[in-house]
Amino acid sequence: MHRPAYCLDTSVLVKALVPEKGSAEAAALLRRIVGGGCRLIAPAFAWAEVGTVLRKKVRAGLLSESEACAAWMRFLSLSIDYLNDRGLMQTAWEVAARFTLPTMYDSAFLATAEIAARHLGCTVEFWTADRELVEGLGQITPEYVRLLEDLG
């Protein structure tokens, strides 16, 4: 069996990069993953989502340009395996239908975790700080889904 894989959605990645509610938990999770030699995976667009959130924080006055740049450089230093193929797209579509999710963004993160579990031969955990997403999955929440606030 391969080393475990972790799929951290944008909400967790940003919290690990900049100070906000839940940052301590997100940073500890990321340290545990990186320090344990585990694999980080994400859908291919994740870098753009993280960058967008950082840019919006600058524009809103929540981060200085230099703080955002430092966070961006920390993000770029992470070794993330990005997934992007038709299999991911199809699985994301199926995940959206199965859980009646309104966005393909959330579906793609969940699909990334499912694909990793099936095709990479490893255990996988998907972490999010999005309580609404987790609650929206309802009674059929996959066992690989974790909510950041439950880490503490």
Q: In what order do the strands lie in the sheet with 124-128?
A: 80-83, 39-43, 5-8, 124-128, 145-147
| CB-CB contact of 126 with 144 (8 Å) | yes
Per domain, the residue ranges of the chain are: 5-150
CA dist., res. 17 & res. 13, Å (int)? 6
| Entry pTM | 0.93
Q: What is the mean pLDDT of residues 72-87?
A: 94
> Coil, helix or strand for 36?
coil
Question: Which CATH code of 3.40.1010.10, 3.40.50.1010, 3.30.565.10, 3.40.605.10 fits the domain covering 5-150?
Answer: 3.40.50.1010
Instruction: Look up residue 140 and give its two tokens.
Output: 């059929």
DSSP 8-class letter at 1: -
CA dist., res. 138 & res. 151, Å (int)? 20
Q: Given CA atoms 96, 143, 30, 85 in this order, what sign does their dihedral have?
A: negative
pLDDT of residue 58: 98
Question: What percentage of the chain has pLDDT greater than the value 90?
Answer: 83
User: How confident is the model over 107-133, as pLDDT tens digits?
Assistant: 999 999 999 888 777 789 999 999 999
